[in-house]
Amino acid sequence: MAWFIFPILCVFLSTLFIFSFLFLRASRFRRLRLPPGNLGLPLIGESLQLISAYKTENPEPFVDERVRRFGPVFTTHLFGEPTVFSADWETNRFILQNEEKLFECSYPGSISNLLGKHSLLLMKGNLHKRMHSLTMSFANSSIIRDHLLVDVDRLIRLNMDSWTGRIFLMEEAKKITFELAVKQLMSFDPCEWTEKLMKEYLLVIGGFFTIPFLLLSSTYRRAIHARSKVAEALNLVVRERRKESYEGKTKKDMLGALLAGEDALSDDQIVDFLLALLVAGYETTSTTMTLAVKFLTATPLALAQLQEEHEQIRARKKQSEDLQWNGYKSMPFTQCVVNETLRVANIISGVFRRAKTDINIKGYTIPKGWKVFASFRAVHLNHDHFKDARTFNPWRWQQNGSGTTSTVHAFTPFGGGSRLCPGYELARVELSIFLHHLVTRFSWVPAEDDKLVFFPTTRTQKRYPIYVMPKKDSRQCKDSDQEEHMTEKVGF
């Protein structure tokens, strides 16, 4: 009979251990002063309510309702874990400034699995500091001015050369930013290889906020399969470039720096690093490009002022001349448009962190091991920091302009602290040059109504279809008139 009793005893003891653990943990939490809130249903928590809200054009009620009931820092249960949700700029800043000290990076399993453990997003400690510094060194203002600007200008113009009739702006913007990212990271110009790679990337990103179990989610399965194909393609590039570096052939791009580093990285580490940077380099920027156009289209006065600024810049340069650094620095209203697009759209709505120890803040305790979500979106759309916060108003960013009531630290579209987005300055340049060529070369109208949704990522439902009409260059007209006049004068 012993063989029969033993399994039952094991199950009983295991069950007793689990219930004892849960009881002790619950008792401990009761002793702590947790932020008020609601953990929702067992296991599921409030994840379904959040997802449902963010799949609409107006997800704010999910946060607004809880802030009204519990205050700007509240407890909820998201993606399988108890989570402290912060809609408070001071708490967000505290979280960002205490990276590695009190908090550590923590993201849903689906994102971690798809990006890879060696991605910059998931790196920790000294390795993260070193790789973050390296990435920033490839995207600072002097590097952009002296090396990257010419490619940004060229590739944007090259893509726009094929625009005619009805286009899906979201797709076109993704193509531009992906080609820019591949060029900057690995020195590849647009080709069939980059097109195939981008198609796989779209599948990878689609799996970011899915259940990370192959049997439960077909989207996640497709994403994992696509991730394997991307990693394989990048591995071939890394191996070939490593071979070239042994032969003394080097390129001044990110991959070249990774291969030449003093602390040697393995091929797998480099592949994870590049894979994640490609996601960061094109997904967020392309969405911001699209939404800037959408918001400007709905705000004719802002569009007219932007067009005037860029027509003045164009008038100062020759017709075939590339946009120069001094041209980029002559775009004050464009920077207002970029800031306001980032604030309203909130492409990155916030960041997940995990408490490394019990943390006291705002009179409450965040238990060790709990997740924390610092919501940038909730702060950016808070009327206490920005007047008429849910209205697109680029003039609020003008010096001494009316309507600006923002707190200095309330605007965090690129995060902050040691994990400040290393490509934030390059993203601004790409957005500005994109808008320059768009408004000076084209007029456009929406092809149909399109709505914003915010889950699994911020995007428009229909990829923002528009009809584009090329503008006739007035300088070219003047040159043609002069040639015609001269032709008549000499009797041809």
The annotation places the binding site for heme at 421
DSSP string, 278-344: HHHHHHHHHHHHHHHHHHHHT-HHHHHHHHHHHHHHHHTS-TTPPPPHHHHTT-HHHHHHHHHHHHH
In whole angstroms, give the CA distance from residue 395 to residue 471: 27
Q: By the 8 A CB rule, do 298 and 399 touch? A: no
DSSP string, 106-149: ---HHHHHHH-TTSTTT--HHHHHHHHHHHHHTSSHHHIIIIIH
DSSP annotation of 350 reads E
Q: By the 8 A CB rule, do 91 and 72 touch? A: yes
Q: Which two tokens stand for residue 267?
A: 């091929």
Task: Count other Cβ atoms within 10 Å, centred on residue 99.
Answer: 20
Closest to 475 (Cα-Cα) out of 467, 483, 486: 483
- Residues whose CB is less than 8 angstroms from the CB of residue 387 and which lie 6 or more positions away in sequence, other chains included: 396, 403, 404, 405
User: Three-class SS of residue 470?
Assistant: strand
